[in-house]
Each structure stands twice: as structure tokens, then as C-alpha cells.
Amino acid sequence: MKGKFVVSALLAAFVSVAAFAEVTSLRGDQGIGESNEVVAIKQVPKKQDRLALDYVNQPPLIPHSTDQVQLNPSNNGCLECHDVDKYRKSGAPRVSPTHYMDRDNKMLGDVAPRRYFCLQCHVTQVDATPLVENTFQPAGKFGQ
């Protein structure tokens, strides 16, 4: 019994030392006293034409900034311009009818809860260089 305890304690000590030796800071090799360089904020075009899609059923891309758009459980700022009763006045594209269907394809009076948070699928475009090389080619006539 005593031997098992000693072996367990030695094993725990060895694992602890090995785990501690591999821990590194999220700052990498940068010292605590040194300052981090702030990454420049990407520039979002003020407004641009509708962007081409690259594949079938791709959610449309957002051609404007969304910094000032409130999107929370009690308010969806996107619907102030894109809702079916407001899109003509604002000149914005209308929300797709599919966004008013629940998961059983029943039509609802308001945007379905599963489609309420627009920025889950629709992304704002920025003027930035790609972080990694991308060899993606649009499907068929898409991307034109």
C-alpha cells in the first residue's frame, strides 16, 4: 500500500513538472514590461455596390460598416433598413422570405429566431490582405 502511494506521488510530481515546463505565455517570448504593438483596424468601405457571390446559397456579403448597428436579443438594427416593410424606402436589399420561416417551414410574422442574428452568416467586407494563401475559385458563373 505504501509502495503504491510513493509511486503515485512520484508520478504526479513528474507529470506536474513536465506540464509546467511546457507552459508558455500567450505573449510568446515578449517580456512583461514590453508593450504589445496594436494591430491596425481594417478599413471598411463606406458603401459599395452589392458584392458578387462565390458559390450557390452563399449568404450575401455586407457592403457597408456594421460598427454602429445594434444587434442584441431586444433589437436588430439590420431590420431598420432591410425588413420587408422598410427596404423600399431605404433602398436596401430585402430580407429573404426564408428568414421568416421556422424550422418546420411555417411562415412567421417576424424574422425567425434562428435567423435573427444576421452577423452569424452575413459578414462585412474589409479592405485587407488575406492572412493565408487562398486558391479558391468561384463556382461556375459566380464571382462575376
Q: Is 142 helix (H, G, I), strand (E, B) or coil?
A: coil
Whether 113 has a pLDDT exceeding 80, the answer reads: yes
Mean pLDDT of all residues in 30-35: 72
Q: Which three cell numbers stand for residue 130?
A: 488575406
Report how far apart, in Å, the C-alpha atoms of 21 and of each of 24, 89, 106 are.
Answer: 8, 63, 57
pLDDT of residue 58: 87
Mean pLDDT of all residues in 16-26: 62
The model's pTM: 0.60
User: 5 vs 107, which has greater pLDDT?
Assistant: 107
Q: How many Cα neighbours within 13 Å face the side chain of 56?
A: 2
- Count of helix runs (H) and strand runs (E) in the chain: 3, 2
Whether 39 has a pLDDT exceeding 90, the answer reads: no
Q: Which three cell numbers stand for residue 89?
A: 424606402
Q: Give tens-digit pLDDT for 71-90.
A: 898 899 999 999 999 999 98
pLDDT of residue 21: 58
